[in-house]
Structure 1
Amino acid sequence: MKKSIIYLMSVCFLVFILSAFSSKSDSVYDHGPLKIGDYAPNFILEGSDGKTYQLSDFKGKIVVLDFWAMWCAPCKKKMPKIQKLHETYSDMGVAVLGMLAMNKGAEEKAKTYFAENEYSFKLLYGNDELTKNYELKFLPTVVVVDKEGKIVYLTTKPNPNEFEDITAIVEKYK
């Protein structure tokens, strides 16, 4: 009996140690569903300009993350309003980022689409880690992050009042 208890305790200890030191990437967000008030997961992504960007590069700014895809008609339909946000607030400490997501292999098409439509906000190329960390299941998705890195706005569906909602959030936190 005593040997069984020692064996069981040893197995439990081993399971605990293995789970504590698993090879899970530190950059993968694993804290349940994202919600307003959470810190936004960091990312490291290539931009259409060839530079690498992290969310932490924009600390001290309000950041509008517009997740979209070339195949997403509602995403493309709202792009002019995203451009207007960029034009209105870029000089006031607001960074607007077009986050190409769930659309592998479309980077050059997206870059061309931005150029043809004269969108001047940054275009970043998403990856599987971004999709997982931001729990992207639907597009368009928009996340607004405050100056400290906390999520202050989150929508995962087309919203006819999105521009006004985001404008109000930006005005509140700028």
Structure 2
Amino acid sequence: MKERTQILIFMFLCITLSNFSQESIETKPRQIPFSSESISLDEILNKSREILHSIEVIEYQITQQKALKKRHGQPYINAIFTCEKDLTVKDVGFGKSKLKAQGTIELNGKNEAFSFSYDGHTFKYRRGTAKNKVIKNPTRKIVMGYLQQHLFMLQAFPYTDEVPFMPLGFGYKFEGIEMFNGEECFKVKTTSAVINSKGEIVKGKRIKVWYISSKSFLPIGFSDEKFYKQEITIKSINKSDKKSYKSKSTNENTLSISQARMELAGEKLLKLMTNTPDWNATDQNGKSYNSESLKGKVVFIDFWGSWCAPCKKAMPQIEQLYKHYKNNKNVIILGISANEKDNSASIKYFNNKKYSYTHIPNRIDIAKKFKVEYYPTVYIINKQGKVSYYETDFSQDGFHNWKKMINSLLNQ
């Protein structure tokens, strides 16, 4: 009887433990497909980021429709992109990746083919029938300058960003489920923030809307709700074939960084070999200068501001240039500051740094005559008063480039 009782107790315990174990298994979180009714914004973004981080190589097609609002100057674009992540490359606007793109752009009734590529060292760009522009070790500003907003902003950034879906000022908001290009998508939106005159944080004008496939969790559409609407069609993912990230062409024009800057700046600045405008000014020490009296000399002019970080980085090289030519009466080195909120700011900065070349303070009117929009902007003017050189932005090779140009003009 005792043994029978023990057996029954043992069987009861076994059944109980079995049921307990089954209950434990059933109450654990289960890996089930996401439900559009229950999924949260964090789950959408985290799942998409996880998948995006697993992609090393991707090929996709972007079709950009006409502006959502009827606005002149918004193009139709159709392009194929190939991107490969590479943490060793410099980010010039494509994230840590190599990239190749080619397609067509229809703008203001004109349809042109284009292509651009970046292999981590060399940027190539072609549009229409022009030669391929080839620039080694480009800066982000140079890449943006050639591509302009339409082509630079065309790429599907989450596929190459180190942190996909970086929010604007107000983070992301889940806008619900929508059909996009025939596919069910999660619509997520982020809006920029600005501070108004009362010091309050309010929504800004910038908007990003991503359409993330509920099936693949990959972004397949983008809109700024104003001008752009882009369809993203995935062609291949992690395809093992090695891609060449250099656009192949026998019709190429290789440019140095300084030549590229000159070419880009030349679109807005005074044209080469044109006469400089008439101007006159007094430097911070009371000495007068004017365009007519400077003829017969080679004149270097730097337009700068004490508020401008690249300007400040360039000024030691300008001081070096002045010291190199200070005993040459045929060379004049000028710095003209502009756009200063405090009239004394540029003088204080110039004096604190103990620069010794000529400084003409607070002359935005002269900067406007020279069509200066970006700072710093440098002009070198020949003995006849004509523009012989210009560049914008800071350059590590500024001193050597300027000296080479000045010497060539002195020998003319």
CA distance in 2, matches of 1:73, 1:58: 29
Equivalent position of 2:333 in the other structure: 96
What residue is the counterpart of 1:150 in the other structure? 386
Aligned AA for 2:276?
Answer: A
Q: Secondary structure at the match of 1:158?
A: coil
Q: Secondary structure at the match of 2:293?
A: helix
In 2, distance between residues paired with 1:115 and 1:127?
18
Counterpart pick for 1:161 among 375, 388, 397: 397
SS in 2 for 1:98: strand
Distance 2:320 2:384 in 1: 24
Q: Deviations over 1:26-56 (max 9, x none)?
A: xxxxxx8511111111211221012332122
> Structure 2: how far apart are the matches of 1:52 and 1:122?
11
Instruction: Identify, as 1 or 2, the structure richer in helix.
Output: 1
Q: Against the structure 1 CA distance between its residues 113 and 33, is the aligned structure 2 distance closer, same or farther, given a 3 Å change threshold?
A: closer
**CA–CA separation in structure 2 for the residues paired with 1:40 and 1:90:** 23
**Separation (CA, whole Å) in 1 of partners of 2:361 and 2:349:** 13
The answer for the alignment partner of 1:54 in structure 2 is 290
Q: Which runs of 5+ in 2 are unaligned?
A: 1-267
Q: 1:137 aligns with which of 373, 376, 379?
A: 373
Take 1:99 and 1:128, find their aligned partners in 2: how far apart are those partners?
9
Query: How many Å separate the matches in 2 of 1:131 and 1:104?
Result: 15
**TM-score computed with the length of structure 1 as normaliser:** 0.75
CA distance in 1, matches of 2:341, 2:270: 23
8 Å CA contact retained: 2:333, 2:358: yes
- What is the CA–CA distance in structure 1 between the aligned matches of 2:378 and 2:288, rounded to whole Å? 21
| Structure 1, unpaired ranges of 5+ | 1-31
1:117-136 residue pairs with structure 2 within 5 A? 117-136=353-372
Are the aligned partners of 1:45 and 1:126 in contact in 2 as well (CA < 8 Å)? no
Work out whether residues 313 and 394 of structure 2, in 8 Å CA contact, stay in contact via their aligned partners in 1. no
Give the 3 Å change call, closer, same or farther, for CA 90–58 of structure 1 in structure 2: farther
What's the offset of the Cα at 1:142? Answer: 0.2
**Paired residues of 1:98 and 1:121 also in contact (CA < 8 A):** yes
Residue 342 of structure 2: which of 102, 105, 114 is its match? Answer: 105
Counterpart amino acid of residue 136 in structure 1: V
- C-alpha deviations, 1:39-74, integer Å up to 9, x for none? 111211221012332122222111100100010011
Q: 1:56 to 1:150 in 2, by over 3 A?
A: same
3-state SS in 1 of match to 2:327: helix
The runs of at least 4 consecutive aligned structure 1 residues that moved more than 4 Å come to none
Q: Which moved more, 1:59-68 or 1:122-131?
A: 122-131
Counterpart residue identity of residue 290, structure 2: Q
Q: Which amino acid aligns with 2:304?
A: W
Percent same amino acid at aligned positions? 31
Partner of 2:321: 85
Distance 1:123 1:166 in 2: 18
How far the C-alpha of 1:131 sits from its partner, in A, is 2.6
Q: Flag the structure with larger Rg.
A: 2
Give the structure 2 partner of residue 75 of structure 1.
311
TM-score (norm 2): 0.33
Aligned residues: 142
Counterpart AA for 2:340: N
Alignment RMSD: 1.7
Shift of 1:117: 1.4
Secondary structure in structure 2 of the residue aligned to 1:152: strand
Look up the SS of the partner of 2:292 in the other structure. Answer: helix
Distance 1:96 1:61, change over 3 A: same
Looking at secondary structure, tell me which structure has more strand per residue.
Answer: 2
User: Bigger relative contact order, structure 1 or 2, given CA contacts below 8 A and separation 6+?
Assistant: 1
Q: SS of the counterpart of 1:123?
A: strand
